[in-house]
């Protein structure tokens, strides 16, 4: 076992709470299932580590066929490289002298690419890369409807791609187009129709750029909710799905065919009434933006967050919950919930078998 995989004895319910748990059997099943999906496809899987922030899970995904991984934070990319990952796509823009310096230091020791959507940023990257003697791979980000980062499809993307290609020490790596706004659209037929329409904008942009004489090596897109849609579109080369590995409540409701492996273990700390139980997991350990977590105890429903506590409504069997009892919660949003913790406790059959660090959640590494 690797040092960070060193076994820890004891049962999971003996942990100090709130504690992030990861069922290893379910994790491995999810990773294998997605790897099998892409085994015979033209597109390949480049998993997004922002769903779990964990080097050990990223290694597992690469061991099952991924050529490399995607991430969205520079600190996370540095931690992944420290952990032995050698092929990274930073699906975010890096601006400012300090961030660009760190990015180029990273590019000097592993294969890394970065997203760009601005001419001035391209100029800054080119100048810094030239001074450092490092060649930096750049993906032009195309906004296909999410309304976040990215240039418009068509001519604006072509113009920026040409600029990257003509810039010293920059290499045009392709197009990045994430239809994140569609990952959990229901019903599925509507998600499929909208994803095809929006990703078509990126595919047509690729054709435009290639017709101008500039090759587009890779078009990367897609997520857990659209992997089966975007992943079969001609012209799409990579899928960035990440949440499938650990899963969460929101993706489960949207019908993603994977098992919930990630939970938060919490303890009942108060029973103010027969119908109410208070647990020690609130905003500080559970991300609330996609709604309340599911409670893995029949008759218990999580109904309200506070900073450090959560309120359960209890009926039937859950009325037997007592102070000191533990219950598990499935977070509605696993990615941001994982980002609230320093470590994840890996379990096998209810036994604690490893503790893996959660990495790159904030700014530079401590050693930087």
Determine if the peptide bond prior to 271 is cis (ω within 30°).
Answer: no
R_g (Cα) of the chain, nearest Å: 22
Q: What is the domain range of residue 132?
A: 24-246
**Cβ-contact 158, 216 below 8 angstroms:** no
Contact status, residue 77 vs residue 85, Cβ threshold 8 Å: no
Q: 165 lies in a domain?
A: yes
Tell me the average pLDDT of the chain.
94
Is 174 within the bounds of a domain? yes
DSSP 336: H
Q: What is the pTM of this model?
A: 0.93
Q: Give me the number of domains the chain comprises.
A: 1
Close Cβ partners of 50 (under 8 Å, ≥ 6 residues apart): 70, 71, 72, 73, 76, 242, 335
* 82 assigned to some structural domain: yes
- Give tens-digit pLDDT for 5-42: 444 556 776 899 999 999 999 999 999 999 999 999 99
Show the tokens assigned to 116: 């760009």
3-state secondary structure of 87: strand
Separation of alpha carbons 314 and 276, rounded Å: 6
Residue 357 lies in a domain: no
Q: Is residue 90 part of a domain?
A: yes
Per-residue pLDDT averaged across 202-231, rounded?
Answer: 98
311 belongs to a structural domain: no
> Is residue 295 included in any domain, yes or no?
no
Contact 139, 174 (CB under 8 A): yes
Q: DSSP code of 14?
A: G
Query: Is residue 321 assigned to a domain?
Result: no
Residues ≥6 apart with Cβ < 8 Å to 70: 46, 47, 48, 49, 50, 88, 89, 90, 91, 220, 240, 242
| CATH number of the domain bearing residue 188 | 3.20.20.10
- The model's pLDDT over 278-320, given as tens digits with 9 standing for 90+, comes to 999 999 999 999 999 999 999 999 999 999 999 999 999 999 9
- % residues pLDDT > 90 (the chain): 93
Q: Is the distance from CB of 258 to CB of 299 less than 8 angstroms?
A: no
pLDDT for 1 beyond 60: no
């Amino acid at each position: 076992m690797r040092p960070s995989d060193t076994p820890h004895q004891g049962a999971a319910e003996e942990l100090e709470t709130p504690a992030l748990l990861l069922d290893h059997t379910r994790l491995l099943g999810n990773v294998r299932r997605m790897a099998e999906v892409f085994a015979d496809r033209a597109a390949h899987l480049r998993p997004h580590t922002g769903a779990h922030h964990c080097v050990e899970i990223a290694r597992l995904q690469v061991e099952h066929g991924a050529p490399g991984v995607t991430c969205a934070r520079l600190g996370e990319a540095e931690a992944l490289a420290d952990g032995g990952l050698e092929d990274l796509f930073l699906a975010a823009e890096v601006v400012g002298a300090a961030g660009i310096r760190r990015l180029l230091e990273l590019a000097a020791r592993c294969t890394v690419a970065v997203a760009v959507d601005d001419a001035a940023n391209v100029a800054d990257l080119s100048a810094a890369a030239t001074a450092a003697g490092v060649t930096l791979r750049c993906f032009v980000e195309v906004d296909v409807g999410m309304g976040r980062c990215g240039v418009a499809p068509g001519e604006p993307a072509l113009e920026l791609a040409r600029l990257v290609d003509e810039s010293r020490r920059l290499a045009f790596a392709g197009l990045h187009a994430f239809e994140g706004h569609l990952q959990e659209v229901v019903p599925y037929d509507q998600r499929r129709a909208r994803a095809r329409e929006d990703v078509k904008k990126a595919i047509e942009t690729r054709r435009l750029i290639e017709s101008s004489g500039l090759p587009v090596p890779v078009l990367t897109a897609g997520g857990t909710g659209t992997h089966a849609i975007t992943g079969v579109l001609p012209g799409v080369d990579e899928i960035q799905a990440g949440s499938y590995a650990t899963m969460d409540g929101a993706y489960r409701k949207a019908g993603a065919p994977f098992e919930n492996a990630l939970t938060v273990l919490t303890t009942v700390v108060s029973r103010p009434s027969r119908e109410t139980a208070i647990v020690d997991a609130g905003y500080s350990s559970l991300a609330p933006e996609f709604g309340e977590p599911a409670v893995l105890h029949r008759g218990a429903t999580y109904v309200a967050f506070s900073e450090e506590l959560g309120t359960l409504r209890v009926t039937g069997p859950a009325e037997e919950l007592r102070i000191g009892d533990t219950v598990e919660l499935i977070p509605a949003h696993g990615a941001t919930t994982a980002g609230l913790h320093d470590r994840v406790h890996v379990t096998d059959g209810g036994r604690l078998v490893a503790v893996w660090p959660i990495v790159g959640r904030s700014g530079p590494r401590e050693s930087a």
